[in-house]
Amino acid sequence: MPIKYTYLEIKKITNGFKDKLGEGSFGSVYKGKLRSGRFAAVKLLGKSKANGQDFINEVATIGRIHHVNVVQLIGYTVEGSKHALIYEFMPNGSLEKYIFSREGSVPLSNEKMYEISLGVAHGIQYLHQGCDMQILHFDIKPHNILLNDKFVPKVSDFGLAKLYPTNNNIVSLTAARGTMGYMAPELCYKNIGGVSFKADVYSYGMLLMEMVGRRKNLNALANHSSQIYFPSWVYDQVSEGKNIEVQEEPWNMERKQRKR
């Protein structure tokens, strides 16, 4: 089970929130160091709509998750409106920078991308079928896939996740959840109603498209208007019986030329 920390302890762990790693949809993330010497990622949440007991119940559920492809929750803080989560530290950051970044990161090989895609799939399947409760993530995207020192992928950021009994095939939502470009179509309807784990599967498919194309699915700067929305372009190519040739990004071609 996760360890409960005081807010003062969190401040000490992060050295006064000195080293900011990034910012997500539900809070800022800071690098910290535990008493054991182990590094950790401390996510300081914004003002939560849920009450303290709901937060603790959710922590208790996520804290029981143990899977190689899901980031491990180490501890938490809940003091009034101050909520924080402490996760294992992922030194290689998010998958996002290895797909889209033009500078500062070494492109991953197709073989490594394939391994990462399998790992993410295993993590999502575990959330849906391997826990006491069915966990629907609702925000699968490159930014939320973290990589450890061996580039093993971990599904992270459960800020939008919902927990349901495992026998519930369809769950009810009253508002859209997720990031545009990755959200399943049924999440964009005015009256959402029932959704299922397939919403995460759709987001995973969009993630795969970006991993294969090494580009964002939506690119307003594409050379041809037909390629602005990558999934539509791929669909058209397949429908017409054409081969799908993904053009290598100029920044990657330049790197190869420099190595020669």
Pairwise CA distance, residues 120 & 201, whole Å = 11
Pairwise CA distance, residues 50 & 135, whole Å = 17
Pairwise CA distance, residues 5 & 7, whole Å = 7
Tallying the residues shown for the chain, one arrives at 260
43 is in an annotated binding site: yes
Catalytic residue among 54, 139, 157, 236: 139
200 is catalytic: no
Annotated binding-site residue numbers for ATP: 43
Annotated binding-site residue numbers: 43
Q: Kindly list the catalytic residues.
A: 139
